[in-house]
Amino acid sequence: MRTGSLNIDALGMLRTADGMPVFGNGGPIAIPPEEKVDIGQDGTISIRALGEDPNIVVTVDRLKLVNPDPQQLEKGTDGLIRMKGGQPLEADANVRVTSGFLEASNVNAVAEMTSMLALSRQFELHVKMMRTAEDDAAAMARVLQLS
34 has a pLDDT exceeding 70: yes
Is the CA virtual torsion 86, 91, 96, 99 positive or negative?
A: positive
Same domain, 72 and 138: no
Ordered alpha helix ranges (H), the chain? 109-146
pTM more than 0.75? no
111 lies in a domain?
yes
User: In the prediction, which pLDDT does 86 show?
Assistant: 81
pLDDT the model gives residue 145? 87
Q: Which of 35, 51, 83 is the last residue of a domain?
A: 83
State whether 109 and 62 are in the same domain.
no
Domain hosting 144: range is 105-147
Within-domain flag for 120: yes
- When divided into structural domains, the chain yields a total of 2
